[in-house]
Structure 1
């Protein structure tokens, strides 16, 4: 989910995102996020929760590697596309697609991996409560993976002055996790290769925060 596109007062979050997905046959590439591939390569497959799954690229990739996935999004249109993609890939039985506006409802249970890539609710102040709830859904020994934008893309000429990009360290502090119960595995900011609106190669600053919940709280 992008940083600014969901900001609207005239329609609900679901209506906004349903309309966006209906406007194009395919919004995203279908490839998994590079940070997900990089940061989960060494994990033993188990149960995974993906927040803001969109058209299902990450969820399908995880399922193909043996994970049992619960994937959520606010858009019913996106979820239908994602489910079709999973069936075509032969992993439809490994993914439970759930519609949630995460500011209002959240999947039940605990998971070995909880993954959030570029999840930004309509109101910026609503992101940290969602991510705190995500942390609470990580099973002992499990991993919380949060990938965020660390700045506006270089082609953005009029960035929103009210929108901020916390560093991984600031995000970790905002999660307010119990002392001694989590291990920081990755906390970094980096430049991700992207393509600008004119189709030219560029980079955008992103960040990764990867935490493991200790087995004994």
Structure 2
């Protein structure tokens, strides 16, 4: 599923459910990140900019970081950032982009599948993920894992694709991976307070067409 603005990876045929499921797995992304040119725009995701700009920089973890656009933006704001992704090729691109942007000393990289994520006691002032869409509605389970890495007083920001007219063109397996912000609330423990639970409209362009879509946006804070 899309993170930053996609550079054009259409499919010339109707995808089978088996092919759809394969798009959620690491080998598909290793192949995508081995191609020439950028997959994403490199610009920070807009909800990240909106919600994080008022925060005091500290330590951050970006899960599903892809080519590192959000990691680089956070580092440029003064955060010490770990970018996590299950694609080694994506992480290699992200590290190179961070070097080019002059923020390599503020970044670390971690190859991990969000569905098996375990912070092992490490905590961060900000844990963020944008457009991470595990299949079969698995995002609540991912949120349960990610929130364990939020330090007392820290924030969790989860942004994803809400169902939209654009989704009607997609195979059923992709539509099932979309979510509303309120769908994620069962993943929050009692000591984590939801601050923002909403769908935010955004205009995007894909394959030359303009669409109005909604970003499902959950911002939460651990009491501390």
TM-score using structure 1 length: 0.87
Q: Helix, strand or coil: the match of 2:37?
A: coil
Query: For residues 34 and 153 of structure 1, do their structure 2 counterparts lie closer, same or farther at Cα, with a shift above 3 Å needed?
Result: farther
Of 127, 139, 143, the match for 1:114: 127
Of 30, 35, 58, the match for 1:23: 35
Of 169, 172, 196, the match for 1:157: 169
Q: Helix, strand or coil: the match of 2:89?
A: helix
Structure 1 gap segments, 5+ residues each: none
- CA positional deviation for 1:103: 2.1
Higher helix share: 2
Q: Helix, strand or coil: the match of 1:77?
A: helix
Q: Which moved more, 1:187-196 or 1:161-170?
A: 161-170
Instruction: Identify the residue that residue 7 of structure 2 maps to in structure 1.
Output: none
Structure 2 gap segments, 5+ residues each: 4-16
- CA positional deviation for 1:187: 1.2
Instruction: Identify the residue that residue 195 of structure 1 maps to in structure 2.
Output: 205
Paired residues, number: 208
> 1:82-93 alignment to 2 at 5 Å?
82-93=94-105
Query: For residues 196 and 105 of structure 1, do their structure 2 counterparts lie closer, same or farther at Cα, with a shift above 3 Å needed?
Result: closer
- CA positional deviation for 1:201: 2.5
Of 199, 217, 222, the match for 1:208: 217
Q: What is the CA–CA distance in structure 1 between the aligned matches of 2:97 and 2:137, rounded to whole Å?
A: 33
Q: Helix, strand or coil: the match of 1:188?
A: strand
> 1:80-159 alignment to 2 at 5 Å?
80-108=92-120, 109-121=122-134, 123-154=135-166, 156-159=168-171
Q: Helix, strand or coil: the match of 1:124?
A: coil
- CA positional deviation for 1:129: 1.7
Q: Which moved more, 1:155-164 or 1:61-70?
A: 155-164
Q: Deviations over 1:35-68 (max 9, x none)?
A: 0000101000000000000000000000011000
Q: Deviations over 1:73-102 (max 9, x none)?
A: 111111111101101111101111111122
- CA positional deviation for 1:200: 3.0
Instruction: Identify the residue that residue 84 of structure 2 maps to in structure 1.
Output: 72
How well do the aligned residues superpose, as a CA RMSD in angstroms? 2.3
- CA positional deviation for 1:6: 6.6
- CA positional deviation for 1:191: 1.6
Instruction: Identify the residue that residue 166 of structure 1 maps to in structure 2.
Output: 179
Q: What is the CA–CA distance in structure 2 between the aligned matches of 1:158 and 1:138, rounded to whole Å?
A: 34
8 Å Cα contact 1:114/1:134 also seen in 2? yes
8 Å Cα contact 1:153/1:205 also seen in 2? no
- CA positional deviation for 1:137: 0.7
